[in-house]
Amino acid sequence: MDRVILIKYGELSTKKANRNFFINTLYNNIKEKLNVFAIKIYKDRARMTIQFRDEDLDKIKKIVDRIFGIHKYHIAYVVNSNVDEIKKKLLEVVKLEKFITFKIETKRSDKSFPIHSQDFNKVLGGLLLKNVNNVSVDVHNPDLWIKVEIREKETYIYFNNYDGAGGYPVGTQSKGMLMLSGGIDSPVAGYLAMKRGVVIEAVYFEAIPHTSLEAREKVISLCKKLVTYTNFINLHIVNFTPIQEEIYKKCPEDYCITIMRRMMYRIMEKIANKYKGNIIINGESIGQVASQTLTSMKVINSVTNVPVIRPLACLDKLEIIDLARKIDTYETSILPYEDCCTVFVPKHPAINPKLEKAIDAESKFNYEELIELTIENLNTIKIDSSESKKFEDLL
Ligand code: ATP
Ligand code: MG
């Protein structure tokens, strides 16, 4: 049938100077995501439309629901912007709907169209009252809210209204490095960063044999969930075992977590430099655990000048869990495999660590050399979402 997905950009429209860049990025993302379907995409400064084959609509809709930069969309009938053709089409398509009351709302962005919006509402309303049995107008609470958008060449008729994923298209910002553990928080942090347009690469610290291969598989599964919001994600796996063992041999027990986190940030900075990431993103939330008090954050963060973005900093755990459920990572995150942070948790980690004490403890071992080794031995996996078959498995 002659329908299209009619996309409204939302927040994009406020970014005047960058408008074309935003629209082109969105266009390319949609094209890439839907590349296995027989579709045609058209774009202009106000709207984008996707022509599709009827049988693909359900699959395409699921994918479109996860493309950032789409504020709202409609499945719309398309007809030439010609009075008679619009009338004919409207009669044809309302007959597929069940309703008693209706309202018509015409928007005429093509001012050369011969009839004003208000008048055209009356024309079309009269047409329905005359030709469809037992229907009446209700402008406040209609069963069927009929929108007619008249543009220069084409007119769109639709009755539905779907929320898009919102945010900015991935790729309208540069790259950030996401610290991805197997927990609940960090996948949500990654999702929120991508929603602002950030391209992410993920970094997972593992400490085999203290952590299992199942724990790694869990992180890969989480990455596969996240990749449904973008085109691909590079996942870097850090062998953290030698550093972690040294820390637990040489440092005071209550400072082990503080120092472990400082080491993680140092490694993150090096990985960010190597792969041209501009920021570090993680799932820290103020006060959640000892290493996330403001004092701890200050001492830990002081090892790097790379900005650390914490999308969850001010959210409650329950709010984070709601988001994790929404993006379908929660069930994977609560699988019971140990993470390198949980394996070595001391009984009484420092809640208000002192910077001098952390520096003093670190001076007991040659961590720079160990850090270099982890960078040399990074294991990188590319998680791709481009093949539709695979993509369906991921949803
Ligand atoms: P999450 O916070 O994701 O639920 P968690 O509770 O195990 O996992 P925290 O101890 O709260 O992790 O650590 C705070 C943040 O540090 C995480 O959200 C994540 O961004 C990062 N992080 C912790 N452990 C790791 C790890 N093993 N690999 C990569 N990043 C990690
Ligand atoms: Mg956490």
339 Cβ inside 6 Å of ligand 1: yes
pLDDT in tens, 186-230: 999 999 999 999 999 999 999 999 999 999 999 999 999 999 999
* pLDDT tens, position by position, 317-373: 999 999 999 999 999 999 987 766 566 778 889 999 999 999 999 999 999 999 999
3-class secondary-structure state, position 1: coil
Cis peptide before 209 (omega within 30 of 0): yes
Q: Which residue's C-alpha comes closest to atom 20 of ligand 1? A: 282
Question: How far apart are the CA of 108 and the centre of ligand 2, in A?
Answer: 51
pLDDT tens digits for 158-194?
999 999 999 999 999 999 999 999 999 999 999 999 9
**Burial of 193 from C-beta contacts in 10 A (0-12 / 13-18 / 19+):** buried
Residue 338: how many CB atoms within 10 A of its CB? 15
Residues in a beta bridge with 281 = 178, 309
Atom of ligand 1 nearest to the CA of 283: 18
Evaluate: CB of 340 within 6 angstroms of ligand 1: yes
- The residue nearest atom 11 of ligand 1, judged by CA position, is 284
For residue 279, report the phi and psi dihedrals to the nearest 5 degrees: -140, 165
Burial class (CB in 10 A: 0-12, 13-18, 19+), 275: middle
- Nearest CA among 302, 281, 299 for reference residue 290: 299
The residue contributing the CA closest to ligand 1 atom 6 is 183
Q: Class of the 3-163 domain?
A: alpha beta
Predicted confidence (pLDDT) per residue in 298-327, tens digit: 999 999 999 999 999 999 999 999 999 999
Distance 369 CA to ligand 1 centre (A): 24
Which residue in 102, 83, 91 sits closest to 150, CA to CA?
83
Measure 178 CA to ligand 1 centroid, in angstroms. Answer: 10
Ligand 1 pocket, 121 CB below 6 A?
no
Instruction: Confirm if 281 and 201 have CB atoms less than 8 A apart.
Output: no
**Answer CATH for 175-394 from 3.40.50.150, 2.60.120.380, 1.10.10.10, 3.40.50.620:** 3.40.50.620
Pocket test for ligand 1, best of 341, 342, 344, 379 (most atoms within 8 A of CB): 341
Check if the beta carbon of residue 204 is closer than 8 Å to that of residue 166.
no
285 touches ligand 1 (CB under 6 Å): no
Q: With a 6 A CB cut-off, is 205 part of the ligand 1 pocket? A: yes
Q: What is the DSSP string of 117-148?
A: HHHHHHHHHHHHHHHSTT-EE-SSS-SEEEEE
Cβ(265)–Cβ(304) below 8 Å:
yes
Residue 388 has pLDDT above 50, yes or no: no
At residue 389 the predicted structure's pLDDT band, cuts being 50, 70 and 90, is: very low
When the pLDDT of each residue in the chain is averaged and rounded to a whole number, the result is 93
Q: Which of 185, 263, 316, 345 is the pocket-test mutation for ligand 1 (most atoms within 8 Å of CB)?
A: 185
Q: Range(s) for CATH 3.30.2130.30 in the chain?
A: 3-163
Sign (positive or negative) of CA dihedral 171, 173, 177, 183: negative
Nearest bound ligand to CA 222?
A: 1
Contact 187, 221 (CB under 8 A): no
Q: What is residue 13's predicted lDDT score, i.e. its pLDDT?
A: 53
Angle in degrees, CA 7, 66, 328, rounded to 5: 150
Please write the tens of the pLDDT for every residue from 249-291: 999 999 999 999 999 999 999 999 999 999 999 999 999 888 8
Q: Tell whether ligand 1 has an atom less than 6 A from the beta carbon of residue 282.
A: yes
Compute the distance from residue 144 Cα to the ligand 1 centre, in Å.
48
Read off the pTM: 0.93
Of the CA atoms within 13 Å of residue 19, those in its CB half-sphere come to 12
- CB of 69 shorter than 6 A to ligand 1: no
| Ligand 1 atom having least distance to the Cα of 340 | 27
Q: What is the Cα–Cα distance from 229 to 104, expressed in whole angstroms?
A: 35
User: Is 240's C-beta closer than 6 angstroms to any atom of ligand 1?
Assistant: no
Is residue 366 a contact partner of residue 240, using CB atoms and an 8 Å limit? Answer: no
Task: Give yes or no for a contact between 79 and 85, defined as CB atoms under 8 angstroms apart.
Answer: yes
Q: What's the sign of the alpha-carbon dihedral 164, 167, 170, 176?
A: negative
Are 237 and 216 spatial neighbours (Cβ–Cβ below 8 Å)?
Answer: yes
Q: Which ligand is nearest to the CA of 324?
A: 1
- The predicted model gives 8-34 an average pLDDT of 84
- Ligand 1 neighbourhood includes 284 CB (under 6 angstroms): yes
Ligand nearest to the CA of 210: 1
pLDDT at 141: 96
SS3 18: coil
* CATH 3.40.50.620 residue window(s) in the chain: 175-394
- Expressed in angstroms and rounded, the spacing between residue 365 Cα and the centre of ligand 1 is 24
Question: What's residue 77's pLDDT?
Answer: 98
Give tens-digit pLDDT for 127-169.
999 999 999 999 999 999 999 999 988 999 999 999 999 999 9
Q: Is 355 helix (H, G, I), strand (E, B) or coil?
A: helix
| Nearest ligand atom owner, CA of 333 | 1
Q: Is the dihedral of CA 164, 166, 168, 170 positive or negative?
A: negative
332 lines ligand 1 (CB under 6 A): no
Rounded-to-integer distance, Cα 300 and Cα 362, Å: 12
Does 157 sit in the ligand 1 pocket, CB within 6 Å? Answer: no
